[in-house]
Structure 1
Amino acid sequence: MSESKLPQNSRAGNQQTEADMPPEAPQPLPWPSSFRIGTDGVYICEDAGNGTYSYNYVFSPLHILARTCDGQGKNWGLLVKVQAPNGQWHELVIPVSMLAGSTTVFRELLMSLGLRIASANYKYLLAYLSGANPQQIVRSVDRVGWHGGCFLLPEKCYPSQSEAQQGGKFALLCSEGVNPFQCRGTLHQWQEHIGRYLAGNSRLILGVCAAFAAPLLKPCGVEGAGIGFEGDSSAGKTTALQVAGSVCGGGGQNGYIHRWRLTDNALESLAVMHNDNLLILDELGQSDARTAAESVYMLANGQGKARAQKDGSARVITEWRVLFLSSGEMGLEQKLKEGGHRHMAGQGVRMVGIRADVGKGHKLFDELHGYPDGKTLADALKLAVSQYYGTPLRGFLEHFTANIAENTKAARAVLEAFEQRVCPPEADGQVKRVCRLFALLTAGGELAIRFGVLPLAPQSAWEANARCFQDWITLRGGLEAAEARDAACRLRAFISANRMSRTAHAAQNRALLYH
């Protein structure tokens, strides 16, 4: 893209003649020929009379990069790059349909990213964008995650070798709200201040493995699911979530963590925002029982509700793939019972409950790594996750996409081996399904160790997840189907509640029989 260094006194309405301007770049240009691009902004060329032209500064740097369209060749737009006052560049896709109506919407989008423009020059902004003719076309997508052989994050595409050779490019459509996939610090800093304290701590490893396993859902063909950390308010549940979230991103008041208290539409939007990644929801108690029950099915099944458009036709149903972590003082089963709802077996395999307290006297932690108590270690981790985040996921994706076929094969080998060696053969199908979830977490963790992203010894993820799986079986109450277990529990409760009265009646009947 051509960019000219214009004279400094050409800004703010000061005019320059055509002789003052550098020669025009070869055609075709991605912007209209009546505009020139300088390092300090965009200029409009106007007839000054007497066969001369003047160039007036109209707005700060705004570059037109490409046309965009979706996978069906529809919903066209412009990919632009705007420079903020601090010098930072931001990319944005502007739907061309916005240019047909009021200029307010796209102008607000650009100005929110740092575009500086006087109100008198609004007409030039519309002319600049409407007359754009970039030759490059890129595919626009509305979510992060897998798109063909590329894994897309807001700031970068991680292509497979074949995709990189083909030069496939994507543009992520802008969405409202804070970007959860932000980065701060280096991978080495994350490893030094957070990763090293995972060693020997099964619950921390479990959560972090979920972050690395989420991008494996599609390659390994595994369905989405969730794990809920249960326990009292000081058990360390939120610490486990914060450490897991630091793998993917952070920033903002709550870092990578969201709250359960959401509407259906908001939860669907969050799921799409975290497609092929880890979604974290804190404080299950803030959600009502009915919403929690429906949300677990919706998140794990990867599909939103069917809705109608204004004309009555069906909207396209929103879809996604996520692994999710949750926390709550009570588990999902207790939450549903509290609201008068029955806990279904399908919910139990889609959101697996596990106690945050490992029973070693230090709440969440098995190993304190030299800290005097669990609270001190938790406080140190909470401080660290506010300073170092997002880099482990990038490191993992760099390695995984370098050879997707071989790395997927390795992940599946770990997954299958874990299922065969850890899951008891007599276990019910429901238990085997949950074991597959823990196997996927193990695969993600062991790959991250192999890639040098997780600073742990080989087999650390296996050992931690195997222990957590056994702890889940203990909390669940056995290997049989949930329906059979619940029926046995109800029968025992009935016998216990009615033992005395039924025994008395039986004794009386025997007395009458032999009288």
Structure 2
Amino acid sequence: MSSGEKTQTGSQSGRSDIRKGIENAKVVQFPEANQGSAKAQEVSEDRRFIYRDDGIWRRNGDGAPFFLCGSVEVLGESRDEAGQNWGLLLAWRDRDGHRHEEAFARALFAGDGNEIRTRLADGGLTLGAGAKAKAAFLEWLASLQSSQRARSVTRIGWHRFGGGDVFVLPDETLGETSERVVLQTLDREASLFGVAGTVEDWKIQIGALCMKNSRLVFAASCAFAAPLLGLLGEEGGGISFKGSSRLGKSTALRVAASVCGGTPQNGAGGYIRSWRSTGNGIESTALASCDVLLPLDEIGQLDPREAGEVAYLLSNGQGKARASRTGGARTVARFRILFLSTGELGLADLNREAGKATKAGQEVRFADLPADAGHGQGLFEHVHDHDTPDAFARHLRVVTGQYFGAPLRAFLHRLTQDLAQSGNEVVQDRLRVRMGEIMREWLHPYPEASGQVRSVAARFAMVAAAGELATQYGLTGWEHDTPTVMAGICFEAWLAERGTVGRREDEQAVAQLRDFIAKNGEARFERWVDPAQGDAAQSEESQPPGERFRTQNRAGWKRWMKGDGGRYEWRYFLTAEGMSEALAGLNRRNAVQTLIETGYLLPGKVKNSAVISPPGHRNVRAYEVKASILGTEEGDR
């Protein structure tokens, strides 16, 4: 290996040095730094660099060596299953002696190196200053090689390698594989999965207070349910606690967050994210929360224009398709999300504010659960030894700031053990059977329940089954059936808020047509009054109300005629364009069939419409709607 040449200024000479460093590198035995282990790692050594106890130095020709950085240990090289995303796994100690480990993508070495230097400096590593030291530092990184290997992943959550499942957190990988698995991203976010206290602390200080409170038990069970999405193949989605302020919605969110993690500064509250973001921001947040609960506070901060799209984005688990700088397609972000939200408004309220209709699919993926438990204490049914709901909420805020993060790690540890010992299929079948039992119990009184209701019931049942599993693992301190009973109470509350066990589109079809006629009955429906005949002309009830407005932008006609009961009423005839406008956002064919089944639309011979001949027109095809859709016998007077 040739000796180091004098460092040249200019980008061309710098790239030449890096190429030479890679070509001249060789694999040697390099002892681990500051680890005290007898085992040595194989890393590359370049004679241009000097390794000392106080750090790494660069030879400078005939001059004195200059300092690059503090002591760094090379643990190995990382790459994904496709042989991409190569990186280096480095370890070092900060000025307080604390050990840091992080995987850095080699793509970070391709630029000016500022990003990797910033991350190392943020971790307490001492770096040499000046352009000369920076250029030589990149030379040193480019020269490193190791025979040790690790698997790199770009997101947290479940990953399968060699037939085994592991769960990756920013600072820990749970499960057994033949190789070490590391999280390696181009951008680093501060880890929110902090741990304070033990599982026993959480059970005594928080879990015990959830007892007898359906929303608190349900919220905590959601945190255990999120890792089951991928294992069970369930769709993503979420639940939002909806209700007025000061009910305790944020307290429930903190309880759920305390299962997962937190930060030293804010306790479990540090794990909670905000809805105050763009759609792109929510996408990056979702990617950083794959397979774990995503708590989002106050949906009212979300732009109403993006609410519907965000609901689909979080539940479908797929980000937007974007073009790269060269015009090609970027890799689409993929994730699995179970989110828990709070807000005074629901998804339908936000869509209404934005002037959009709420699709049934959005409503299923984003289930609004009434936060008020109906016991005069806001979200709570029982405040235990506290005098008021407010005092109880303040106490929960204190304890969730002291104990957090341990239950999720213990749950994942036990779950990965179960998967390794029993196999995926056995664990999956056991959970699916239990979910089926829970759903049958809940839906037994509703044999006519639609697929939409059953889909939400499946999500609630998964939450209940997860709570039972965590209780079986000894992580909650609850009775075995507590999660199912409390989740059942929440499901009934959601169903009561929804108002029907049928398809939402059926209700929407009637509501939209009713609203369209009520708003436009006089302004956009031209009057159609037949010439008076015989004694009928003398009857007061046979005469229509006086005209108040002139019809513009006609959507159809309103004909004064006898109804089913023999009384005179308006009968509405909508043109095809008018019906399409009235049913905007719905599947027109299905909506028309629903209107026929409910008796509001009279079926015609061709495509459920009939040919009519209003005054001044001939052979117009229209849909005939009864006045009873407006909810009064007289219709729109």
Residues 31 and 41, structure 2, Cα contact 8 Å, conserved in 1: no
Q: Which residue of 1 aligns with 2:100?
A: 90
Paired residue for 1:449, among 464, 471, 493?
A: 471
Percent identity of equivalent pairs: 35
The amino acid of 1:106's aligned partner reads I
**Structure 1 residue 432, shift from structure 2 partner:** 0.5
Q: Is 2:174 the counterpart of 1:158? A: yes
Paired residue for 2:225, among 210, 213, 233?
A: 213
The amino acid of 2:129's aligned partner reads S
Residues 262 and 405, structure 2, Cα contact 8 Å, conserved in 1: yes
- CA-to-partner distance for each residue in 1:317-365, whole Å, 9 max, x for gaps? 1110010111111111122112211111111100000111101111111
Tell me: CA distance 1:4–1:96, structure 2 relative to 1, closer, same or farther (3 Å): closer
* Counterpart-to-counterpart distance in 1, 2:33 and 2:173: 29
| Structure-1-length-normalised TM-score | 0.86
Show the 5 A alignment for 1:413-432: 413-423=433-443, 424-432=446-454
Q: Give the stretch that moved more between structures: 270-279 or 420-429.
A: 420-429
- CA-to-partner distance for each residue in 1:358-399, whole Å, 9 max, x for gaps? 011111111111111111111111111112111110010011
Q: Which residue of 1 aligns with 2:400?
A: 385
- CA-to-partner distance for each residue in 1:226-274, whole Å, 9 max, x for gaps? 1011111111111111111111111155411111111122111101000
Tell me: CA distance 1:361–1:117, structure 2 relative to 1, closer, same or farther (3 Å): same
**Structure 1 residue 82, shift from structure 2 partner:** 2.4
| Structure-2-length-normalised TM-score | 0.70
Show the 5 A alignment for 1:53-452: 58-119=68-129, 121-148=133-160, 149-159=165-175, 163-164=176-177, 166-173=178-185, 175-251=187-263, 252-253=265-266, 254-404=269-419, 405=424, 406-423=426-443, 424-452=446-474
The amino acid of 2:215's aligned partner reads R
Residues 67 and 128, structure 2, Cα contact 8 Å, conserved in 1: no
Higher relative contact order (CA 8 A, sep 6+): 1
* Counterpart-to-counterpart distance in 2, 1:103 and 1:193: 47
- CA-to-partner distance for each residue in 1:172-199, whole Å, 9 max, x for gaps? 3363333222222222212221111111
Cα RMSD over matched residues? 3.1
* Counterpart-to-counterpart distance in 1, 2:107 and 2:365: 41
The amino acid of 1:109's aligned partner reads R
What SS does the aligned partner of 2:226 have? helix
Segments of 5+ residues of structure 1 without an aligned counterpart are: 6-23, 500-504
Q: Which residue of 1 aligns with 2:484?
A: 462
**Structure 1 residue 410, shift from structure 2 partner:** 2.6
Residues 211 and 278, structure 1, Cα contact 8 Å, conserved in 2: yes
Paired residue for 1:42, among 55, 61, 72?
A: 55
The amino acid of 1:289's aligned partner reads P
Tell me: CA distance 1:262–1:31, structure 2 relative to 1, closer, same or farther (3 Å): farther
Larger Rg: 2
- CA-to-partner distance for each residue in 1:258-316, whole Å, 9 max, x for gaps? 11111122111101000011111111111122211110011001011111112111111
What SS does the aligned partner of 1:169 have? strand
**Structure 1 residue 132, shift from structure 2 partner:** 1.4
* Counterpart-to-counterpart distance in 2, 1:248 and 1:25: 35
Q: Give the stretch that moved more between structures: 97-106 or 334-343.
A: 97-106
Tell me: CA distance 1:432–1:55, structure 2 relative to 1, closer, same or farther (3 Å): same
* Counterpart-to-counterpart distance in 2, 1:319 and 1:491: 38
Segments of 5+ residues of structure 2 without an aligned counterpart are: 1-29, 522-536, 545-560, 567-637
Q: Which residue of 2 aligns with 1:19?
A: none
The amino acid of 1:414's aligned partner reads R
Larger helix proportion of the pair:
1
**Structure 1 residue 4, shift from structure 2 partner:** 6.5
The amino acid of 1:183's aligned partner reads V
Number of residue-to-residue matches in the alignment: 483
